[in-house]
Structure 1
Amino acid sequence: MLTTNADLTALVVDDSPSIRELVSAMLEDLGVGRVMQAEDGVSAFQRIEQSEWPVDLLFCDLAMPGVDGVETMRGLATRRLEAGIVLLSGMDPKLMATVADMAEQLGLRVLGTISKPFRQPQIAAMIERFRRARAIPSRRPALMITREELDEALHSDRIDVYYQPKIRLSDRVVTGVEALARMHHPAYGVIEPDAFIPLAEESPQRITKLTLSVLERAISQAGIWHRSGLDLGMAINMSTLAIRRLDLPDIVEEMAQRAGVANDRITLELTESQVMGSAEILHIVSRFRLRGFKLSIDDYGTGHSSLKRLKRLPFTELKIDRSFVNGASSDEDMRSILETSVDLGRRLRMDVVAEGVEAWVDWHLLEDMGCDVAQGYVAARPVPATGIPLFAQRWAEHLRH
């Protein structure tokens, strides 16, 4: 029996005694320390309120008499349950996905859905996902950052760049990194971009200054790694407002030349909506490609690209949004969308990158599909520049063993 999950408490909610016993046995085999059962929503609420330990994992059926799974989700939200929730059902996967979306909108932490019949590796994957989600620091809401604080951070050079490794799936080699802006706040510490990028984009001058700062830092860092023998591609997100500068390709090329980095080692990431219906943007991205820079369609699947537009635009990489990656191994419809996206990218002769991989089962699924590159918490979180050489070294040592 495994012991690594002995600190966890789980609650299985299902009107079928045999299903409750099956899931409970799987959890116990996986080393979960405390497993409780409930036959419906009302019983689940009672177990939660009476339990000596807070519930960490809750596995809930949808089709139950009395208080069904949908009503149970709302009841759990009113109780501000912080457990990781897994929906179990033999119902239509699209219905399960709808209920999962509803639960997330209510503020619950949904780990994923599992269709009946299910297997123990699926349960294990949900436990792994819970542990990783719990370990991720909570994000500060954007409202806690003021424009004055952002301007002070820009003026005082307190905007830093973290880097998340990108792994080539064919041989699991670290092939590059994505540069991600971070803000150092005197009270809150390191703050992620969701808390300050929307504020920055309120002003073309502010977001341009921020974007150029990140570009300069990231490209310079790529040069430092290259000279030390670590040749990594550098992917950088571009803001809609900042990219409207017609001289941007010249500026970025000058940065690359100063850093000693080849243009084709730099990938500029743009969302689908950024290149829709703008001759100005098309002018700029065309000049980037003429100079050998790579271009990535970021968050693919969340915008409105037509197949015709994908065919005509000079992109070299298709980056699949995390919403179609995380949990695809246990969701048939999501898996179909993911497989179609990977196949489309390859047929269009584009490198395919999957972001937001948080479980090894999804990682292995991407390998089987022929996806080119993956990144996500399952391999590594974004780290300061000093952490990348150490990660690359340890990752290489792990591969050798």
Structure 2
Amino acid sequence: MKPRVPNILVIDDSRAILIIMEAILCELDMSDTITTCLTAGEALEKVTADINYYDAIFTDLNMPEMDGMELIRHLGELHYQGAIIIISEMDPKVISLAASIAKQHNVHLIGNLSKPVQLNQVNALLNKIVSLNSHTLHKEPIISKQALIQALLDDEITPFYQPKICIASCTIKSAEILARIVSSEDGSIILPNRFIALAEQHELIDQITFTLFEKATSDFKYIQELLGNDIKLALNLSPTQLDNLDCPNKLLLILELNQIKPSDIIIEITEQNALASLAQLETLNRLRMHGFGLSLDDFGIGFTNMSQLKNLPFTEIKIDRTFISHIDTDQFSQVVVSSLIDISNQEHLELVAEGVERPEELAYLKNYHTKLAIQGFLFSQPKSNHDFIDWAKYWLKTSSTIINNKPPYE
């Protein structure tokens, strides 16, 4: 089934632009509802009536009475969580500043359309929106609380692994642990979008996380023997888990039992929720003090501003896939990623590009930003321990040929 962005709002003081946008969106057939407004004020009233209705908002910048930047500020005050795209020709400095301001307002500005609007531009941005909203747009049902508890009782929580690859050396720098429920009866797999939010809601997320970490650290010794002691293991924690001041001690105990050093582990913190409480900041600092690497995951779509990024003890930034998708042709993404590369160089941070799926994206990143590590389906989907080992053996034999040509799709 074709991915969709169900409800779209378009705002422009030009009726001609609205007609063109509506025609393009209808042609692409990716939306159930397209609403158009001639003024930002009218649009704001519609959004306010149901803050969760619109999945994406396309807005002009220069409009009478209320302009696009003022609208973005109001959307932030309303805690609008959909994607925002500006319909305006923007030079790189304006793009960079607009993205920074949007982040300060806690909204997701993911691109711009230059005029005259082209169908291929709109299509690329709609695909980015689908990626951004993958959790909210996904239609597979969440499993029941009882099913999740039973999966825990049956020991079905299973680590899968996805590599991060150094784009310059072709080496596997780390493997990210990703949660799956694997049925003990028929081997069927349940993806995390069907149970992670549920686990957080019912305070089962720590049990899942520590179960994954115990199993992954047990697997890790053989992975190190195969790929070398420089490879690291990456574990995801949500900011809410950082409120648990005992979290570092539990992780350290698991590492001690498996004779693994904290420096072998990267803790990935999702950026979709702000790091704010004293407990979160203390836990973050203690993890770094003990030698864990700290990665800011999904950077670009969340609420960590540049100042906070510089002040917190992160060692790595992961650029969200929405800024990697079609980066070879997307000026907005190129500017955002370029600014992140400058920051990572200034602050001596590792940088990872998430969601590399097309050879053209790899070519752009390889030619212009060779210090990056890359992660994505172009090289490997998340795999079980056994399949990851098989893939890694193949990669060791063929990596230089693959990365300089066309990687195999999986």
Q: After TM superposition, is the score higher than 0.5?
A: yes
Aligned AA (1:143): P
**Where do 5+ consecutive residues of structure 1 fail to align?**
1-62, 81-92, 98-111, 134-138
Match of 2:313 in 1: 314
- Measured in 2, the distance between the counterparts of 1:289 and 1:249 equals 10
**Pairwise CA distance, 1:379:** 0.9
| CA distance 1:332–1:238, change in 2 (3 Å) | same
Match of 1:145 in 2: 143
| CA distance 1:95–1:389, change in 2 (3 Å) | same
Match of 1:247 in 2: 246
**Pairwise CA distance, 1:298:** 0.7
Match of 2:180 in 1: 182
Give the greater-gyration-radius structure (CA): 1
Secondary structure in 1 matching 2:276: coil
If asked which structure has higher relative contact order (CA below 8 Å, sep 6+), I would say 2
Q: Compute the TM-score of the two structures, normalised by the length of structure 2.
A: 0.65
| CA distance 1:96–1:195, change in 2 (3 Å) | farther
**Pairwise CA distance, 1:399:** 3.2
Aligned AA (1:391): W
**Pairwise CA distance, 1:392:** 1.8
Matches within 5 A, 1:165-180: 165-180=163-178
Match of 1:235 in 2: 234
| CA distance 1:114–1:307, change in 2 (3 Å) | closer
- Measured in 1, the distance between the counterparts of 2:196 and 2:31 equals 32
Matches within 5 A, 1:111-126: none
Asked if the contact 1:207/1:239 (under 8 Å) is kept, the reply is no
Aligned AA (2:249): D
**Pairwise CA distance, 1:276:** 2.2
Match of 2:297 in 1: 298
Aligned AA (1:151): I
Aligned AA (1:299): D
Matches within 5 A, 1:1-400: 68=20, 70-74=22-26, 76-77=28-29, 94-95=86-87, 141=139, 143-185=141-183, 189-204=188-203, 206-228=204-226, 230-231=228-229, 232-272=231-271, 274=273, 276-367=275-366, 368-399=368-399
Secondary structure in 2 matching 1:292: coil
Corresponding pairs, count? 299
- Measured in 2, the distance between the counterparts of 1:391 and 1:171 equals 18
Asked if the contact 1:178/1:236 (under 8 Å) is kept, the reply is yes
Asked if the contact 1:354/1:371 (under 8 Å) is kept, the reply is no
| CA distance 1:171–1:115, change in 2 (3 Å) | farther
**Pairwise CA distance, 1:378:** 0.7
Secondary structure in 1 matching 2:294: strand
| CA distance 1:67–1:285, change in 2 (3 Å) | closer
**Where do 5+ consecutive residues of structure 2 fail to align?**
1-14, 33-84, 90-110, 132-136, 402-410
Asked if the contact 2:25/2:31 (under 8 Å) is kept, the reply is no
Asked if the contact 1:263/1:291 (under 8 Å) is kept, the reply is yes
Aligned AA (1:379): F
- Measured in 2, the distance between the counterparts of 1:269 and 1:65 equals 42
- Measured in 2, the distance between the counterparts of 1:174 and 1:293 equals 18
**Pairwise CA distance, 1:116:** 11
Asked if the contact 1:140/1:191 (under 8 Å) is kept, the reply is no
Q: CA RMSD in A?
A: 3.5
**Pairwise CA distance, 1:251:** 1.4
| CA distance 1:241–1:393, change in 2 (3 Å) | same
**Percent identity over paired residues:** 27
| CA distance 1:243–1:78, change in 2 (3 Å) | closer
